[in-house]
Chain A
Amino acid sequence: MSATVGIVLVSHSAELAAGLRLLVEQIGSDTVPLATAGGTDDGRIGTSYDLVLAAVRTADRGVGVVVLPDLGSSVLTARTVLEDHPRPDVLIVDAPFVEGAVAAVVTAASGADLKTVADAAKEARHVHKL
């Protein structure tokens, strides 16, 4: 089987990122390379440049990585990391955190390419839940 697109979940909270990881592994797949960057280096609420950078490297299987930030400084930190380490195959995607992660992981699990996985996360914004 060819390599799978990786997913990085960036959150202010390590618990939120870890909980979302458990959720998407149940709905989607536990075989998709998925890494979390939650909280600060010392475990407080916030975001960490180093944790985001490490998570991107952990999730990278050579066919691209989609980075999903929750909000606020998660977005800023993720953007800074990607600006300092620019790669065409690592994309930060503007998507609702939970829905985007579920859509991205399910799509990646089916063997889709980077653009398809990123689009699935983006389109999550437009899917009604009611």
Chain B
Amino acid sequence: MSTSSDPVTTTATTTSTYESTSTYETTSTYETAVVLPADLHARPAGQLARAAAGFTSAIQLEHADRTVNPTGVLAVMGLGATAGSTVTVRAEGHDAEQAVTALAALLATAE
């Protein structure tokens, strides 16, 4: 994984699997780390949960060795993530890239 001065670093892997139904299914895994500009309190947690529910991919938020499903607003608040700490967004599925991009943007602009 590369590092840069940018607070957001992204890694992505794409795997194609051949399905017995003779169609190609592409499942992608994306991951982005965001340094929080502000505490991850109630309002941004609510925004994250609502955004996360709009994707079909399996999404995880990771902070300080704890992993939660961001569709759970209470679990997101329970991370207790504070300004300056790093939260990693990870998604696996057909809209993984869009999910990670959207959630990382919310985390990066939280007030």
Q: A: which residues have CB within 8 A of B?
A: 23, 26-29, 99, 102-103, 106-107, 109-112, 120, 123-124, 127-130
Contact = CB atoms under 8 A, between A and B. Distances in A.
A38 to B, nearest CB: 22
Contacts, number: 50
B75 interface: yes
A98 B5 CA distance: 40
Interface of B: 42-43, 45-46, 49-50, 53-54, 71-75, 77-78, 80
A27 B45 contact: yes
Contact of B74 (A26, A99, A109, A110): A99
A28 B50 contact: yes
B54 A27 contact: no
- Which 6 A-B residue pairings sit nearest by Cβ, starting from the closest? A110-B53, A27-B46, A127-B74, A106-B73, A27-B42, A106-B49
A111 B46 contact: no
Interface centre among A99, A107, A130, by most chain B C-beta atoms within 10 angstroms, is: A107
A27 B74 CA distance: 11
A109 B93 CA distance: 23
Given A26-B43, A27-B73, A106 B78 contact: no
Given A27-B43, A110-B49, A112-B53, A128 B73 contact: no
A129 B43 contact: no
Contact of A130 (B46, B73, B80): B80
Nearest to A109: B50
13 contacts: A26-B43, A27-B43, A27-B73, A28-B73, A102-B73, A106-B49, A107-B49, A107-B53, A107-B71, A110-B49, A110-B50, A112-B53, A127-B74
A24 to B, nearest CB: 9
A104 B13 CA distance: 35
A89 to B, nearest CB: 21
B46 A106 contact: yes
Contacts of A102: 42, 46, 73-74
